[in-house]
Amino acid sequence: MASTESSSPSPQHVVIVGAGFGGLYAAKSLSKDRSFRVTVIDKRNYHLFQPLLYQVATGKLAPSDIATPIRHVLRRRPNVRVVQAAAIDLDPAARQVILNGGIRIGYDILIAATGVKHSYFGNDAWREDAPGLKTIEHALEMRQRIFSAFEAAELSEDPVEQARLTTFVVVGAGPTGVELAGAIGELAQHTLKDEFHHIDTRRSRIILAEGAAQVLPSYPADLARAAQNSLKKLGVEVMTRTLVTHIDETGVRLKDADGREETVEAATVLWAAGVRASRFGQALANRVACTLDRAGKVQVNADLSLPAHPEIFVIGDLAHYAPDGATPLPGVAPAAMQAGDYVARLLKARRRGRSLPSFRYRNQGSMAVIGRHAAVGDLRFLHVRGVFAWYLWVLVHMMGLIEFGNRLVVMTRWAWNYLTRNSGSRLITSVPEARTDHADRAHRSGN
């Protein structure tokens, strides 16, 4: 059972670092109780609906469709203060969070919800040539690389160079990788096929490389097979039991389970293979001697607090919680939401001298979409696929958006895209270095 503490007549100051799903749910719940004063710290001024980032990367949605200003979400919560800054360290003895610039913010209770970033498994040099997908900036970079590659291929007169430019490699076949590869396949096979007259986008090569034995490794085998079949219909080559051994500006080197290696020349390589905890997790480990798992996530007690520090909680992707040796909490939005809500309820109970049972995650299932009218879902008691799963996926993601206005805009865009296959957010808004390289090489190949 979670421990109790005596109540105090003055408002208790709760500092929440990170305004993702977990942090925002905790803040919204605590804001309803005036016995708390809440400060939300985030390096960005918006809450991001990460599950739809891949749709920004492939031009189906605009960044503003899946992001909402934090201040707007909490505008009617007068006991909540929002601070845009990066939390880089903490002083547990003084109970202070240290921000960039050396500013310190004191706390009675600290909730760390800073999430994860990409892991390249010790090959950080790959980051430049294989961007991941965790932020809007990442999504826009991917969007520019994808559409710039098609534009450069249209300019080229060299068939070999055209093939390189229209080869896309997605590394990692979890939900993000599967959805990203499927969306690129949808672009190449349908959306763009009539828009380019010098190349046939349907001849694009899209490779999805996964080290495990199936795509969606955490899903049941029947759903993984259904997802793989849907990917193949979109022209995606699925390579399971395949590892990436090298990435550079020319492409990737792959090695299969038998040790055979293949070099794939590709202008666009996208990373969806691994994550590690944020820098604030390492700061926690340094300051309070907490235990980190292999991915850098912080191991927590049954009430999501740190051992020897009941005033510090860790939730969301940053937390490693495996009760009684069970499977650790998944890095998904529902787990973060439930954890944020739990910690808020626990703090309210403590203020009233009560306790709560240990945190228990309620698995609501998982879903992945693979192009138009194709999706798979593990609802625990039921496996769904195809059109029904796709409509269910749309409903679930609509409800996950924080603001009603976002839901209306996204639903309108999806309806238009569905009826016309015309994605309206395919603008190349700047000419990144990668785009210039594509164009220069294509121009040289045509001379």
Q: What is residue 139's predicted lDDT score, i.e. its pLDDT?
A: 96
Radius of gyration over every alpha carbon of the chain, rounded to an integer in angstroms: 23
Q: Which amino acid is at 343?
A: V
| pLDDT bracket for residue 141 (50, 70, 90) | very high
Q: What pLDDT is stored for residue 117 in this prediction? A: 87
Please state the domain extents for the chain: 12-43+85-118+276-351, 124-273+430-446
Please report the pLDDT score of residue 289 as a whole number. 83
Q: Is the dihedral of CA 132, 134, 138, 144 positive or negative?
A: positive
Q: Please compute the mean of the pLDDT values over residues 72-90 and round it to a whole number.
A: 96
Q: How does the average pLDDT of the chain come out, rounded?
A: 89
Contact predicate 298/285, CB 8 Å:
yes
Q: Is the CA virtual torsion 345, 346, 351, 352 positive or negative? A: positive
Q: What is the pLDDT of residue 444?
A: 53
What's the pLDDT tens digit per position in 305-358? 999 999 999 999 999 999 877 788 888 889 999 999 999 999 999 999 999 999
Distances (CA, A) of 163 to 158, 201, 255: 9, 10, 21
**What are 218-221's contacts with CB under 8 Å, separation 24+?**
218/174, 218/330, 218/366, 219/366, 219/368, 219/376, 219/378, 220/378, 220/383
pLDDT digits (tens, 9 = 90+) for 24-68: 999 999 999 999 999 999 999 999 989 889 999 999 888 988 899
Q: What is the pLDDT of residues 5-24, one digit of tens each?
A: 444 568 999 999 999 999 99
- This prediction has a pTM of 0.89
Query: What's the mean pLDDT in 170-180?
Result: 96
Active site residue 179: yes
**Cα–Cα distance for residue pair 287/416, rounded to 1 Å:** 51
Q: What is the reported pLDDT for 379? A: 86
- Per-residue pLDDT, averaged over 388-412, amounts to 71
362 compared with 380, residue with greater pLDDT: 362
Candidates 141, 154, 157, 179; catalytic one? 179
Q: Which residues contact 73 (CB under 8 A, 6 or more apart)?
A: 24, 28, 47, 402, 403
> pLDDT by residue (tens digit) across 208-260?
999 999 999 999 999 999 999 999 999 999 999 999 999 999 999 999 999 99
Determine the topology of domain 12-43+85-118+276-351 in CATH.
FAD/NAD(P)-binding domain (3.50.50)
- Higher-pLDDT residue of 445 and 397 is 397
Tell me if 12-43+85-118+276-351 shares its fold with 124-273+430-446: yes
Which pLDDT belongs to residue 405? 60
pLDDT at 434: 46
How far the first Cα of the chain sits from its last, in Å, is 74
**pLDDT band with cut points at 50, 70 and 90 for residue 85:** very high
Residue 240 or residue 290, greater confidence? 240
Is the distance from CB of 74 to CB of 30 less than 8 angstroms? no
Cβ-based neighbours of 216, under 8 Å, separated by 6 or more:
173, 174, 175, 178, 223, 224, 227, 368, 376
Say what the pLDDT of residue 435 is.
45
- In this prediction, what percent of the chain has a pLDDT beyond 70? 88
pLDDT at 271: 98
CA 90 to CA 67: how far, in whole Å?
28
Residue with the bigger pLDDT between 440 and 409: it is 409
Q: Is a pLDDT exceeding 90 seen at residue 395?
A: no
pLDDT at 447 over 80: no
Q: What is the pLDDT of residue 324?
A: 78
Higher pLDDT, 2 or 196: 196
The predicted pLDDT at position 436 comes to 46
Fold category of 124-273+430-446 in CATH: FAD/NAD(P)-binding domain (3.50.50)
pLDDT band at 440 (very low <50, low <70, confident <90, very high): low
Residue 4: pLDDT band with limits 50, 70, 90: very low
